[in-house]
Amino acid sequence: MKLTSKGRYAVMALVDLARFDTINPVSLRDISLRQGISLDYLEQIFSKLKKNQIVKSTRGTQGGYILSKKPNEIKLNNILNAVDEKVKTVQCKKESKKGCNGRATKCVTHNLWDELETHINTFFEKKSLQDLLKDNSERVN
């Protein structure tokens, strides 16, 4: 059970953005350099963040990205969903009556994993970008 780089990078990049977008839009190039993330990969990630209205972009020279909401309104949940880093613990389709392995009934562990999913999502719903900013306010990089 592990987190992928895409989700990790998305959050890192947005924390960076939240710190520096107060005056001018921030270019991906800057984020790439500060956070050590491949520029090309960042572009893929921000394309998704934009589609999900988490960031806004300005093209051209001096362009870049800014947050489209206040940091305390952006929950980790929103970020991770945007980049398809969904929490998926059950194997089956939740809505279906059928179980995993194509069985007719839900398996013996179904309820357990479903509880776990809720447990994790609760964590993500509570945490906002703002919380992360506080947590790192002393740091400079």
Partner DNA sequence: ACATACCTGACTAAAATGGTCAAGTTTAGA
Partner DNA sequence: TCTAAACTTGACCATTTTAGTCAGGTATGT
Q: Which residue type occupies 96?
A: S
DSSP string, 11-26: HHHHHHHHHHTTTS-B
Backbone φ, ψ for residue 55 (5° rounding): -130, 160
Pick one of a second copy, ligand FES, DNA, none as the site partner of residue 29 (Cβ within 5 to 8 A by kind).
Answer: DNA
Distance CA 90, CA 97 (A): 13
What is the H or E stretch that residue 63 is in? none
66 or 100: CB nearest a second copy: 100
66 or 100: CB nearest ligand FES: 100
23 or 137: CB nearest DNA: 23
Pick one of ligand FES, a second copy, DNA, none as the site partner of residue 69 (Cβ within 5 to 8 A by kind).
Answer: none
Closest to 85 (Cα-Cα) out of 136, 34, 28, 12: 12
Please identify, among the stretches 24-32, 56-64, 89-97, 115-123, the one whose residues bind ligand FES according to the rule CB under 6 A: 89-97
Distance CA 17, CA 64 (A): 10
Please identify, among the stretches 20-28, 31-39, 102-110, 115-123, the one whose residues bind ligand FES according to the rule CB under 6 A: 102-110
- The yes or no reply on residue 116 touching ligand FES (CB under 6 A) is no
CB atoms within 10 A of CB 74: 22
Binding site for ligand FES (CB under 6 A): 90-92, 99-100, 106-107, 109-110, 113
Binding site for DNA (CB under 7 A): 2, 4-6, 25-29, 38-41, 43-44, 46-47, 50, 57-65
